[in-house]
Every structure is written in C-alpha cells, then in structure tokens.
Amino acid sequence: MSASWVYFAIYETISPFPLERFVNKKNIKAAKVVLDMAQRGIREYDAKRLLAGFLPQYLKEFSYKGDLALVGPETDLEELASVHPWLKTSKLVVKPDQLFGKRGKYGLVLLDADWDSAKKYLQENMGALVTVGNITGRLSHFLIEPFIPHEEELYVAISSESDGDNIFFSMKGGVFVEENWDSVIRFHVDLLDGIEGIDIKSRLPEGLGEKRVAVENFIKALWRFYADSGFCYLEINPFTFRNGSIVPLDMVAKLDDAEEYWQRKRWLGLSFPEPFGRTLSKEELFIKELDSKTGASLKLTILNPEGRVWTMVAGGGASVIYADTICDLGHAREMANYGEYSGDPNTEETYYYTKTILDLMTRHKDPRGKMLLIGGAIANFTDVAKTFKGVVMALEEYQPKLQEAGVKIYVRRGGPNYEQGLKLMRNLGKKLGVPIEVYGPETHMTRIVPLALGGALQ
Amino acid sequence: MSETSKKSYVLFDRNTKAFVYGYQTNAIQRMLDFDFICNRPEPSISAIINPSRAGIHKAFWGTKEILLPMYKSIPLAAKAYPEGDVMVNFASHRSAFDTTMEALAEDSIRIVAVIAEGVPERQSRIMSLTARKQGKMVIGPATVGGMTAGAFRIGNTAGTIENIIASKLYRPGCVGFVSKSGGMLNEAFNIISRNSDGIYEGVAIGGDRYPGSTMLDHILRYEENPAIKMIACLGELGGEDEYRIITALKDGRIKKPLVAWVTGTCSPVLPASVQFGHAGAKADTQKETAQAKNDAFREAGAFVPQSFDGYGDTVRRVYDMLLSQGKVAPLVEPEVPKIPADYSKALASGDIRKPTTFICTISDDSGEEVLYAGKRLSSVLEEKMGIGGVIGLLWFKKELPEYAVGFIELVLQIVADHGPAVSGAHNAIVASCAGKDLISSLCSGLLTIGPRFGGAIDDAAREFKHARETNMTPEQFVKEMKRKGINIPGIGHKIKSVKNPDKRVQLLISYAKSNFPSTELLDYALQVEELTTAKKGNLILNVDGCIGILFLDLMKSCGVFSQAEIDEVVRLGYLNGLFALGRSIGLIGHILDQKRLGSRLYRHPADDIAYMMPSKDEIRCKRAA
C-alpha cells in the first residue's frame, strides 16, 4: 500500500466552498450543484454524530451515546451547558475541530479538564492565531467531549479506491500508527461482493483475545455504515473499549458531497467547513456570492494582488492550462489570480466578474504595465459573442483606469459565433485606445501567454 | 453484440447503432447531422428511450425528415433493436446509476456513455466494476462523451457542425486521443487536426475521481487498432491513472508514439485548497502532481512538451516523423455533404428571410405580455376597460369613449338570451339533449343565426344607412323596399307589436337618447316605423334593427371613426358579431341547464308533424320528366 492513503489521514480538505446549498439550495440550479462535487472533510463533531446516530442500525450493541458539544465563536457557553448537562458533571476533553490533525502534537488538546478550566481554555484559544504545518489560521471551532481514561488504543480506517474499499485495522493505534505501519492489517472489500463473505476474525491479531468477535462485528457494521452514509474516507484513531463496548476517541471523515440527494436525511444539520486558514478577500467573497446565486460557475482566487498577469478564462479545464502555461514559462510570481467562468453566465454575471478583476488589477500601479489574458478553449455551444458582451461593458467602464495602469489585453477564444465575438473585441480596442490583441482557433489556445509575457516580462 | 466479428478494440464504427436515453432533441439532431456529413448509410440512432412518453420523434436527415421510434423503457428498446449496442445516457445525476445498471443488464448493450455530472463516487465505482465484469464499457460520468471520426459521435461531442468540419472530424485521421476533461476535447481536436491528419477517435473519460473507463483502457484500445498510428493524451494532476499508462509504456504494452501532457503544473503556486474544475483533479501526494507525472511520462519515452503551449508542435513533430518513416500515408480528403442551416438559427443570424403568410394587426403575444391593439393587457385591466373596451380594441382597434363601451355592454346583456323557444336556444338544447358536448351544442345554436334569426343587425344598418345617405324620405324608403319586394330588415317582430312593445328596444333607445351626442339615424328609423306600424301593428323597429341603427349613430357621433371606417364596418358585417357574442352567453346557459337536468334525447312528437307524402303519380311524373 502506498503512502497515499496515509496522507488522507493528515487532514486536508478539497474545496474552499462551504455547503451553502444545504441551507439555501432552492436558489441553486442542479447544474451548479454538480460542478463543485468533490470529497469534503467534515468536523469531528459531525462525524461522531453520524456514528452515534446511525451505526446502531448496523450494530445493536454499539452503545456510544455521542455526548458532543461544538463551540463556535458565537456559542453561549452557559446555554450550551444547560443543553448538555454532562459538561458540568464529567471530566472533559477540548480540542479544535477545524479539519486539521495532529492537534495533540501542536499542544491544542485539553485533557481531563473540568468545566471551569474548559471555559478558561476556550476563552484563551477562541480566535487565537496558530500555525499548523505551513498554514496559519484562527481557531474558531472546538469540540468538547467527556474525557475517557483508557490504555488500549486501536486503529480503524476505511478508504475508497476504484475497485473497492480498503479497511485498515491495527492494535497499535494512536499518534504512532504511521510508525507502526507493519502492524496494520488490510481488508479489501469488493464493491459488488460486499463484506458478508470476508473472514475478518481469523485475520485479527491474537492479542485481541475475546474482543475479536466484537471487533469483527464492529468492522463489518462500520463498513456498511460507511457505504450507506456517503463516506469516502473515515478514520477512528484511536478507539478503545470501555466496559466492553467500543468508544471512538478521535475521528476524521470525508463525505462525497454528490451523495447529498440520497443522504439528505442522515446529513441533516451537517456543514462542510472552510479549510483551516483560508480566509477569503472581499472580492473573492463577492464572486463566491455571485457564483452561489446562479447556475453558471464563477470562480476567483487571488494569488498575488500585485502580480502583473491577470487571467479571465472560460472553462475549468482551460483555466488550469492557462495558469500552468504562465508557470511553465517561468512567470509564476507574476500570476495575480486563478479563476474561471463557465456554464453560460449571463451578461450581468460576466460584467461583474470582469469588473471585479479590472478593479483589482488597476489598483496597484506598476511602471512595466500589466496584462489581462481573456482566454478559453473552443466552446461547444456557448455563444462567444454573447458572453463577451458583459466583458465589453466592464472594459468600457474601466477605460481610463486601464490606460492609466498600462493594461494590455490578449484575447483567444473559439466556438459558436466566435468571429463576431472577436470582432467585437477588436473594435473595442480601437474605440478605447487600449491595446487588445485578438486570436481565434487558428492560434494555439495558450499562445497568447508567451505573446503577452514574451517581451513584456523579460 | 451486433456482429461477432466486431473487434473488441472497436467502440464505434460506421454501422454503430445507439439508443439515446432522455428526450434530448438537440443532441439527437446533432448526432444525426454528424452521421449525415459522414455519409453514413443509416442514422446512428436506433431509438430514443423516454420514460415519460412512447411514440415517435421526427428529426432531420439532411434536408429530409425521418421518424425515430421512442420507447418508455430500456428493455423494450433493446428488445426491438438488438443491433443497438450503445446507450448514450442523458439521465440526470439522480437516475444515471439506475438507468446505466439497467442498460448493462441487457446483453445487447455493451457501451454506456454517462453524461450526468455529480454521480456519487460509490455509484460510479459500481457501474464501472459491473461493466468490467461483463466485458462492457462505461464512458463517463461527467463527460461530453467521445467520437470516432467519420463514424459515430456521442451526443454533443465536438460541438457545432461548423467545428466538426473545421476539425475534419467527418473522416478518420490517424490519431487516437483521450483526455479527462470534456471541455478540452474540442480544443484538442482542433490542435490535432491542425498538426496532423486528424483524429481517428477521441474520448473524454470525465473529470470524476472514478471514471467508468480509464485513459489507459482507451489507450490500450488505440494501441491494438491498426488504423491508429499515434496516440495523444491529456491528463490531470491527482489520481494514479497516468502512472498506469506510464507502466504500460515501460512494459511495452504501448508501442505507438504517445504524446502526453498532464495539466495542473500551476498547483504548487496555488493555495492548497483551491479546487480545480474537476472533482478528481486534486494532487494528494507529491507523486500525483502534474510535474511528477510529466517527468515520469518523459522518462518512460512519451513525447512530452515543455508546457501545454508546445502540445500542438509535439503532435506535429511525431506526425511528421511517422510520415517520413512511411508509417502513415497522406490522406485523400472526401467530399463533405452540406448540412442545411436550421431555420431558426439562420433567421436569428440574419442569413435568411421569408415572407410571412399571416398578418395580425389586433393582438401580439410575441413579447413578454400580450398586447390588445398595442395596449398591454395589464393596462387594459388597470384602466378597467371592461368587455366593451376589449371589443373596442379587438374588433375596431379603437379606445372607445365610456358611453360607447357602456352601449356595447348594454347590447350584450340585452341579447344574451331570449328564452328556450327561439331557434338558437332550441337547436342548442336539442343538441345538448342528444348528448353532444358544450362546444358542439353551442355551434349548433350559433349556426341558426342568420337573416331570419338575430342576423338582421348588419342588414338593417346597411339599408337604413343607404336610405339616409341617398336622402330618401321615410316614405320613399318604404315605397322603394316594397317595390323591390323586400321586407325592411330590422322592422317587424313575430309577437311584439305597438300594443305589446319590445322592452329591449325601449331600453336601447332610452340609453342612446340620454348618452349619444346624436341619434339621427334612429330618429329616421322611428319615422319609418310610424309608417310601417300604421300598416300592421307588429311591423315595429325590432331589437336587431335598433342595435344596428344605433351603432351607426354611435360611430358617426363619437368622433373616433372616419366615414370610411364606418362604411367598412357595415360592409364587412361586424355587427352581427354583437348578437352572436351576446347570445352565446344564453346558449351556453341553456346547454348547461339541460346537462344539469340530465335531459334525455329530444324527439319531436309525431302528432306535431303533418306527414304528407307525394302521390305515386307525382313521383312517376317527375321520373318521366
């Protein structure tokens, strides 16, 4: 087994987009929902809630109650304690719940605490700036659970790959499982055959003794729960036995958000948080907001606001390739943004998208001037002339600023009605007195990158 | 399988027959247009599967129209067309899994292309594994599909016909292409057609993490296919698929020259959490980065450009190499049939024009809101124009003064009904009792309206207008009509008389007298009535006559109509419309009344009919004559 799945365990998430659509999905068309589909990390709080809520359907003897309290920046702690009376009576564990791992290693876990010291810990750490790996961000969410004294630390994880799921088990769970990788047993579950016929018990370590039956039943139930609840990664490290029943201590999970339609009951109240340390700028938030209100796709990430090369590329595939080419030609430092627009945005949407980029790129002056690449592949059915309308509106509006900032524009696009679209751009250049070079499908898609960067950035 | 001789590396050929799941009329037409410009002998679509309707679908085959059968279920379609071995599945992400599994359960279907985006990973994996187990293939999900040049296209692959012609996809070249991204397929076709003899086959496996078939699956097919001389692929960061290709390169399973590029080389400079366009595009390990993959491709002997910018040049270099080695022969270009432009598209682009057959000057439903004589329906309602006002707009194209509107509404109310015994109501009742529906019964009643029943309004207006305009005295008019042997239209009633006046006429006259600026023609008609009633008590001005004459007074005095317009109203016979419209209210009432009462079939009593047969002699006589 490669190290790749271990990497999964080192928490990382995929998408910067929170799951607004669970809250307000009426406004969002189906076409949009599917565009952002991916594997997405969930809070340990939600993962354990799902486990406590639904694993008993597969494992009657699973008695974990799921005493869990999530503290966010707005949480009223006294009110929380009245909803969860155990907070005042039990010994507690408090830890950040923001999709990053190795919390113990960073000294962020409070163990065996009473309510007063938990509160004190929360007051001290809420909003604190911490650095995890190479990402710095603010702590905003904490999970509080009863403290479970334990010695035994077991490990179980399930991951997916194309031909089936893999279950990993080890008796040497906890923070050192990666170092003890030899102790990990792997069970492969063929998706078409299921787990029924797999002999787990006889492959479990002797050391488990009488618990082998319980562990086998737990693993089988856990896989069914995993398969039925929309998971694509799940790790309980460690779990332990308390009075003969299994208790999860630390848990990580990712869901396939494409399952939303099938999981709407199980996933009720669940949220997909922003990755740790990612705060959006005002402009990124604006585009995100715009994106959430339409069936089209509008994405913007600012990489370097003082960069001289700005891109406005139609289509997800093409946008990556333009960014690639800028980097491959050695100008990564000058790349100001990454983004794309696709899915037939209307004139208003392309206008605002363009305007946002023009505003950003004309803010900082650079004596060497700036470049805007309006690129794209050959569209299937999108009317190129029509989509350029909003772009043209914004460019007209920003004419003085574009001139002032010495912006040169390079256009490349193909597809239905492209001749007219390109003509529109050519004429605009003459009208605005802003240099606009325009190319169609006869020119290689990314050729405008060396054309723009060739002379100017040397 | 349609032919046992079909090689396993062939997905599609010029005889491939497919089902289209989902009523995607544009995609269907695009597939047929492609077939047509490829000079295929027959269309590539066997049948459409549309869960909500069975029947037929009409589509173009060049300039001609053809019918495609439409079935409600996959098994029905598969049974009817066992030669159909491909299903292009346009089902939504919610039903893509069920329909694909259903198709895979049919022995005859061996390839399913799943277009939907957002199919859950578990479902994708199950579809893929099921197909593999059966030796079948799933293309997608989340893809536009793919195509074999000159043979078959999946749905919307390669976009417009113009693009297909520009990239010469109507005939095979020698390059097999595969990518993850469907959005880049057109661009790749363009690049390859400009730098080689073009595409033989191109497939986009879809951007999801677990595509039904992998890039390697297709590359190995291309390797086996002797018509393909070189292979090109466009990978993405994330996943292990490219390493499977690299392994196949290293262990000699791929011998043909392979041009490769993996996109996503910019990822190191992006924040870790930026999600690229595709769900599968996320480098989880160093090994899965685009740089690592491109390096590995290079090392394994693939032709890898320095950046995507050099992709086309690399394709050209490899193609030129094959040419110089004599491995590919220069191609003879076939003639390409022309696809006629779609009418709506050509019209929108201003390329064609067509004289219209109809003109309409009273209403317009082509905009956001229906217009009555140019006036928005909402304004009609806001201004409370009423039925009379609407008649003014739709019949006369005029905004009438309030008292004219009131007059029209008064007329409609007055003529709305006149009991069950009159011809119209009687007929309507008889038809209703015979079990006919509302509209048939109404028509039966309306058909009685004519010169003897309710239809004298126009005639009365015409005759009185003519008399007045030719300056006849009432006496001259009566005398003239008598000389011609015509009863004066609008004069006379079956039961009403001087002694038993028609209340309706009195109401009309009193309204006109108190509202109209002038009742000149009425006054003239009343003088005529004086003469006729002197002869016979029931020769009174009847309701038809009164309406017709007063309408002329109205038009003349209200200042909205020109003389020419008034003449036209009389000439074209507008005014009987008032009676037909008003009386429809009563007729409908009578019809509904009978239906409510559950009336039985009406049969006229025999004792009310005088049976008088002609004698035998009479008949004989006639025959002889």
Mind listing the domains of chain A with CATH numbers? 1-277 (3.30.470.110), 282-456 (3.40.50.261)
Q: Which amino acid is at B311?
A: Y
- Of the candidates B130, B144, B159, the beta carbon closest to that of A378 is on B159
**A368 CB neighbour count, 10 Å cutoff:** 10
Classify each residue of A8-17 as buried b or exposed e, where b means 16 or more C-beta atoms within 10 Å of its C-beta.
bbebbbbbbb
Give the pLDDT of residue B238.
79
Q: Supply the pLDDT for residue B275.
A: 45
Query: What pLDDT was estimated at residue B285?
Result: 63
Does CATH place domain B172-332 in 3.40.50.261? yes
Chain B neighbors of A323, CB-CB under 8 A: 266, 270
Chain A neighbours among B 281-340 (CB < 8 Å)? 281-282, 284-285, 287-288, 290, 306-309, 311-312
Q: How far apart are CA B112 and CA B94, in angstroms?
A: 16
Could you tell me if A128 and A106 are in contact, meaning their C-beta atoms sit under 8 angstroms apart? no
ipTM here: 0.86
Active-site option among B278, B418, B466, B604? B278
Provide the token pair at B606.
Answer: 């025999």
At A32, the pLDDT band (50, 70, 90 cuts) reads very low
User: First-to-last CA distance in chain A?
Assistant: 46
Identify the residue with better confidence: A402 or A456: A402
Contact call for B309 and A449, based on CB within 8 A: yes
**CB of B305 within 8 A of CB of B314?**
yes
Identify which has the larger pLDDT, A12 or B27: B27
Low-confidence ranges of chain B (pLDDT < 70): 1-6, 271-285, 621-625
CA angle B438, B442, B444 (to 5 degrees): 120
Say what the pLDDT of residue B284 is.
Answer: 53
Kindly determine whether residue B187 and residue A377, on different chains, have CB atoms separated by under 8 Å: yes
Specify the pLDDT at position B183.
86
**Structure-token match 């000057």, residue found:** B361
The answer to whether the CB atoms of A325 and B186 lie below 8 A apart is no
pLDDT at B614: 85
Q: How far apart are CA A195 and CA A187, in angstroms?
A: 9
The helix/strand/coil state of A127 is coil
Is residue B216 within 8 A of residue B349, CB to CB? The reply is no
Tens digit of each residue's pLDDT (9 = 90 or more) over A294-341: 888 899 999 999 999 999 999 888 999 999 999 999 999 999 999 999
Q: Where are the domains of chain B?
A: 1-6+14-144, 172-332, 423-597
pLDDT at B271: 67
Report B:163-222 residues touching A (Cβ under 8 A).
163, 166, 181-184, 186-187, 190-191, 194, 207-210
Q: What is the pLDDT of residue A400?
A: 95
In whole angstroms, give the CA distance from residue A259 to residue B314: 41
pLDDT of residue A9 exceeding 60: no
Superfamily of domain B1-6+14-144: NAD(P)-binding Rossmann-like Domain (3.40.50.720)
**Fold matches, B1-6+14-144 and B172-332:** yes
CA proximity to A61, closest of A311, A193, A245, A233: A245
Beta bridge partners, A218, equal none
CA distance A104 to chain B (A): 23
Q: What is the pLDDT of residue B621?
A: 62
Backbone dihedral angles phi then psi of residue B474, each to the nearest 5 degrees: -50, -40
- When scoring A380, A410, A439 by the number of chain B Cβ atoms within 10 A, the one with the most, hence best to mutate, is A380
Lowest-confidence segment of A185-194, A276-285, B220-229, B409-418 by average pLDDT: A276-285
Per-residue pLDDT, B288? 79
Mean pLDDT of A197-224: 95
Q: What is the pLDDT of residue B4?
A: 45
Positive or negative, the CA dihedral B342, B345, B348, B351 is negative
Predicted confidence at residue B339, as pLDDT, reads 83
Q: How confident is the model at residue A10 (pLDDT cuts 50, 70, 90)?
A: very low
Instruction: Specify whether B278 is catalytic.
Output: yes
Q: Average pLDDT of A103-118?
A: 93
Cβ–Cβ < 8 Å for B309, A450: yes
The answer to whether the CB of A238 falls within 8 A of the CB of A173 is yes
Enter the tokens of residue A91: 């010994």
pLDDT band at A95; cut points 50, 70, 90 = very high
DSSP state of B56: E
pLDDT of residue B5: 54
Is the CB of A377 less than 8 angstroms away from the CB of B186? yes
